Structure 1
């Protein structure tokens, strides 16, 4: 027994894979990787977690001179104020409508573009098309807002062309229903190309033997798309859908702010612009923080619910 125990100990010493390696070993081995990891971790801590200290002003009568810590608690008076405001419910409705429209129109667009580009045979044309499609993603919404005003305003280029041809100007930016459609179209134009990259990357991971088997079975292009390509990118579609559902109440400030105008505020005023106008311009910081906290909680509920439903249906969720 002693000889066998000594032999086993000797094997453990001789085999470095069986040795228990401590924290210092991995730090020394992957020093540069841990050093690079410090940058994103520091960003998240400084700009994501540290500002959460200010959430408390949503529950206080915030005074800028007293600070967040010394301002008096207000017994949820801020939340009672926003929940009794009709304008708050209007901006929540507008946020849900615009994000829901983006989900219905904007979510399938990159999938369709990726399928079309993937079917192109001419490689050079495929690369040029992909580059042209995702270039709008790098334009700021300030620039896009200026382009939209120049093209779609009542005196813009498109309406001037329509008038020159004998037609009536179209109210792209002045009628609230037409503005909603314009808003959705601009979002697809700006984001669809960038989303296409994710799906094209997922398509490269599909086993080519599946396409060869589909050829043997006599499947055409549509058959291979339906039975091979779409099931191959299904996990990517599910994850991105869960993330978008989780952001159903979160809306970017730049896009509605730069596209809206006073004529369409019934549909154009959303949570982000409401927080900016009430919380910052009117210096009512408690209301702005309360609305932002409400928005984050609803987004978290949607994210958890969509992830739970996805896992129950047999798909892989985010976790």
Structure 2
């Protein structure tokens, strides 16, 4: 004997069928009306699929003793042996902590700088002066990382201008690029100088959409400049800041490999050796492809976990999220 609840469920599901069909038809009609937009989008989708998704099968070598002659499908399967080898290696904690420290300090110190630059640029009313300032602060972003590293070695060398200036107060020069204690400061400070100006473009664009009537009303009500910045400009920037912060958390394991590798010396390795440089040395230079792939996959998984966690935390705080 059928229960009343079963009949109710069947009736409800049958009643919902026309609605589902209408939704499908509306989606098909929308695609037909806007097929040109989908044609414009198609090359990007195909490109991402070819260059980002198809190569993913290559992560299989992280679970193998990969041999170039035998190929991916012919190499011996070893499971999690390479992951275990990396996690139990004597220098694992040092490399892992170096990566976390560099990324965390760069995020904590560097993340607010573009916001402050955007807020200050927003207060410049003369368009000509504003453009000149933007040109100056954006320019370092377009300097090659190799050139940046060369500049740092030149300026911070024992015979460089920085030590020449410090020589007025000290007896002997400081070997900045050889001391592990100075590496993080040099890395983070140069990164902020190079990228903060360009990173502020997003915030400047967001502030340009602020309704000027809000500032006019706040000024009439007697609000000071700092009060208007806090209650108007910062509120406008909050959604953008939330999304960029989540992305920054997701990339916390991806410290800039190029600059870290270029700034490395034999003496500052205790502070400069990070996961990316370790993968390069073991995976490419030493030819241990499987071990390098395993370490890289470990790094990616940690970044994915941080990204999802940050997104969920921001979502619970009722902020703007990625999904």
TM-score normalized by structure 2? 0.87
Relative to structure 1, the CA distance from residue 193 to residue 23 in structure 2 (aligned partners, 3 Å threshold; closer, same or farther) is: closer
Matched, 1:250 2:254: yes
Matched, 1:298 2:302: yes
Alpha-carbon shift at residue 111 of structure 1 (Å): 0.7
**Residues in 2 aligned to 1:88 and 1:187: alpha-carbon distance in whole angstroms:** 25
Q: Assess if the C-alpha contact under 8 Å between 1:171 and 1:178 holds in 2.
A: no
Relative to structure 1, the CA distance from residue 128 to residue 211 in structure 2 (aligned partners, 3 Å threshold; closer, same or farther) is: same
**Residues in 2 aligned to 1:83 and 1:134: alpha-carbon distance in whole angstroms:** 41
Matched, 1:275 2:279: yes
Q: Assess if the C-alpha contact under 8 Å between 1:78 and 1:287 holds in 2.
A: yes
- Residue 285 of structure 1 corresponds to which residue in structure 2? 289
Q: Assess if the C-alpha contact under 8 Å between 1:246 and 1:299 holds in 2.
A: yes
Alpha-carbon shift at residue 190 of structure 1 (Å): 0.8
**Residues in 2 aligned to 1:296 and 1:195: alpha-carbon distance in whole angstroms:** 24
Deviations 1:207-232 (A, max 9, x none): 21211121011111111111110011
- Residue 151 of structure 2 corresponds to which residue in structure 1? 147
Gaps spanning 5+ residues in structure 2: where? 1-25
- Residue 309 of structure 1 corresponds to which residue in structure 2? 313
Give RMSD over aligned pairs: 1.8
Relative to structure 1, the CA distance from residue 19 to residue 227 in structure 2 (aligned partners, 3 Å threshold; closer, same or farther) is: closer
**Residues in 2 aligned to 1:22 and 1:40: alpha-carbon distance in whole angstroms:** 20
Q: Assess if the C-alpha contact under 8 Å between 1:91 and 1:269 holds in 2.
A: yes
Which moves more between the two structures, 197-206 or 34-43? 34-43
Aligned counterpart for 1:216 among listed residues 187, 203, 220 = 220
Deviations 1:239-268 (A, max 9, x none): 110110111112221121112221111010
Tell me the number of residue pairs that the alignment of Structure 1 and Structure 2 aligns: 297
Gaps spanning 5+ residues in structure 1: where? 1-17
**Residues in 2 aligned to 1:79 and 1:160: alpha-carbon distance in whole angstroms:** 48
**Residues in 2 aligned to 1:262 and 1:279: alpha-carbon distance in whole angstroms:** 20
**Residues in 2 aligned to 1:19 and 1:247: alpha-carbon distance in whole angstroms:** 35
SS in 2 for 1:21: helix
TM-score normalized by structure 1? 0.88
Which moves more between the two structures, 132-141 or 280-289? 132-141
Matched, 1:104 2:108: yes
**Residues in 1 aligned to 2:304 and 2:41: alpha-carbon distance in whole angstroms:** 26
Listed as ranges, the matches of 1:1-319 within 5 Å are 21=29, 26-27=34-35, 30=36, 33-163=37-167, 165=168, 167=170, 168-319=172-323
**Residues in 2 aligned to 1:241 and 1:19: alpha-carbon distance in whole angstroms:** 34
**Residues in 2 aligned to 1:201 and 1:219: alpha-carbon distance in whole angstroms:** 24
**Residues in 2 aligned to 1:221 and 1:240: alpha-carbon distance in whole angstroms:** 26
**Residues in 1 aligned to 2:56 and 2:302: alpha-carbon distance in whole angstroms:** 17
Alpha-carbon shift at residue 171 of structure 1 (Å): 3.5
Relative to structure 1, the CA distance from residue 117 to residue 56 in structure 2 (aligned partners, 3 Å threshold; closer, same or farther) is: same
**Residues in 2 aligned to 1:236 and 1:19: alpha-carbon distance in whole angstroms:** 30
Deviations 1:155-200 (A, max 9, x none): 222213433x353423432221212111110010011001111100
**Residues in 2 aligned to 1:216 and 1:46: alpha-carbon distance in whole angstroms:** 57
Alpha-carbon shift at residue 19 of structure 1 (Å): 12
